[in-house]
Amino acid sequence: MQVIEIITNIVLSVLDIKEHKIDGDRSLEELGLDSIATIKLIVRIEEELNISFDDKDLLIENLNTLNKICEKVQKYTVSK
């Protein structure tokens, strides 16, 4: 499974969305992402992909769309 698929599935699960696809540039805040959901999202991504985000990457502007999350995750998975 590709990173984008894994992250999409995590986002759908955390936000309890029944859709199967999310526009990569759509704001996740529009879909219900709040501070609690953001923490759940980060934890699930770190656990499922066996990565650990640097604090500087945990700013909401880095994690508010699917594409931005994938971009940050790529930084940690490319070196593996």
Model pLDDT, residue 50: 95
Residue whose tokens read 């994938």: 70
- CATH code of the domain covering residue 40: 1.10.1200.10
Higher pLDDT, 79 or 70: 70
Q: What is the mean pLDDT of the chain?
A: 92
The total number of structural domains that make up the chain: 1
Q: What is the pTM of this model?
A: 0.89
First vs last Cα of the chain: how many Å apart?
16
Q: What is the pLDDT of residues 45-75, one digit of tens each?
A: 999 999 999 999 999 899 999 999 999 999 9
- CB atoms inside a 10 Å sphere around CB 26: 13
Residue 77 has what pLDDT?
85
Q: Sorting pLDDT into bands at 50, 70 and 90, what band is 79?
A: low
